[in-house]
Amino acid sequence: MRSAKTLAVAAITTATALAVTACAGGSGNTSEPTENIDLRMTVWSSNEDHLALFDSIADAYMADHPEIASITFDPLPFDDYTSTVTTQIAGGNAPDLAWILENAAPDFVSSGALVPLTDVFEATDGYEYDDLAPSATELWTADDQLVAYPFSTSPFVVFANDDLLAQAGQPTSAELQASGDWNWEKIDEIGSAVHSSTGKAGFVVRDFDYLNWDYLSTVWNGWGAAPWNADGTECTFASDEMVDAFTFLHDAAFTSQSMPGPGTTADFFAGEAAFTVTQISRANLLADGGFTWNLLPLPEGPVGEYSVTGQAGIGALANGANTAAATEFLAFFTNPENAAQLAEYFPPPRTSLLTVDTLAGANPLLTPGQIEDVVIPGIENGEVRPSHTDSAQIAQQVRAGLDALWVADADIPAVLETTCGNISPLLEG
Q: Average pLDDT of 379-401?
A: 89
- Dihedral sign from CA coordinates of 156, 349, 105, 334: positive
CA dist 5 → 14, 102, 169, 325, 407 (Å): 11, 21, 54, 34, 32
Contact 321, 32 (CB under 8 A): yes
What confidence score (pLDDT) does residue 30 get? 52
Q: How far is CA 196 from the centre of its chain?
A: 33
What residue type is 213 in one-letter code? W
Hey, which of 129-138, 281-290, 384-393 has the most confident mean pLDDT?
A: 129-138
Contacts of residues 286-291 at CB distance under 8 Å and 24 or more positions apart, as own/partner, are 286/159, 286/365, 287/365, 291/161, 291/162, 291/163, 291/164
Residue-wise pLDDT tens digits, 88-117:
999 999 999 999 999 899 999 988 999 999
What residue type is 334 in one-letter code? T
- Per-residue pLDDT band for 377 (boundaries 50, 70, 90) equals very high
Measured between alpha carbons, how far is 286 from 243 in angstroms, rounded to an integer?
35
pLDDT > 90? residue 18: no
Angle at 279 between CA 176 and CA 385, to 5 degrees: 105
DSSP 8-state symbol, 386: P
Mean pLDDT is lowest, of 18-32, 202-216, 286-300, 383-397, for 18-32
Q: Average pLDDT of 252-264?
A: 97
Residue-wise pLDDT tens digits, 165-221:
999 999 999 999 999 999 999 999 999 999 999 999 999 999 999 999 999 999 999
Nearest to 396 by CA among 375, 416, 426: 426
Mean pLDDT is lowest, of 23-32, 171-180, 276-285, 357-366, for 23-32
What confidence score (pLDDT) does residue 98 get? 98
Nearest to 118 by CA among 140, 86, 101: 140
Contact 361, 288 (CB under 8 A): no
Mean pLDDT is lowest, of 59-73, 187-201, 270-284, for 270-284
Mean pLDDT is lowest, of 12-26, 59-73, 107-121, 356-370, for 12-26
What confidence score (pLDDT) does residue 32 get? 75
Q: Average pLDDT of 75-85?
A: 93
Residue-wise pLDDT tens digits, 347-376:
999 999 999 999 988 888 899 999 999 999
Measured between alpha carbons, how far is 368 from 261 in angstroms, rounded to an integer?
36
Q: What is the pTM of this model?
A: 0.86
**Residues contacting residue 190 through CB under 8 Å, at least 6 positions apart:** 165, 168, 170, 171, 176, 202, 258, 274
What residue type is 43 in one-letter code? V
pLDDT > 90? residue 297: yes
Measured between alpha carbons, how far is 249 from 245 in angstroms, rounded to an integer?
6
E strand intervals along 88-199: 97-101, 141-142, 145-146, 149-161
What confidence score (pLDDT) does residue 370 get? 95
Q: 2, exposed or middle or buried, with CB in 10 Å at 0-12, 13-18, 19+?
A: middle
DSSP 8-state symbol, 221: G
Q: Average pLDDT of 36-50?
A: 96
What confidence score (pLDDT) does residue 159 get? 97
What confidence score (pLDDT) does residue 392 get? 81
Measured between alpha carbons, how far is 240 from 413 in angstroms, rounded to an integer?
9
What value does the mean pLDDT of the chain take?
90
Strand partners for 416: none
What confidence score (pLDDT) does residue 79 get? 85
**Residues contacting residue 335 through CB under 8 Å, at least 6 positions apart:** 124, 126, 127, 128
- Per-residue pLDDT band for 12 (boundaries 50, 70, 90) equals very low
- Per-residue pLDDT band for 31 (boundaries 50, 70, 90) equals low
Select the CATH number that applies to the domain covering 14-154+310-384 from these four: 3.90.870.10, 3.90.550.10, 3.40.190.10, 3.40.50.1400. 3.40.190.10
H/E segment holding residue 68? strand 68-75
What confidence score (pLDDT) does residue 3 get? 30
Contact 342, 53 (CB under 8 A): yes
Measured between alpha carbons, how far is 296 from 276 in angstroms, rounded to an integer?
10
Using a pLDDT cut of 90, give the percent of the chain over it.
78
**Residues contacting residue 367 through CB under 8 Å, at least 6 positions apart:** none
Q: Average pLDDT of 311-334?
A: 97
- Dihedral sign from CA coordinates of 330, 336, 337, 340: positive
Please give the residue that has the higher pLDDT: either 61 or 361: 61
pLDDT > 90? residue 231: no
pLDDT > 50? residue 24: no
Measured between alpha carbons, how far is 228 from 219 in angstroms, rounded to an integer?
16
Using a pLDDT cut of 70, give the percent of the chain over it.
93
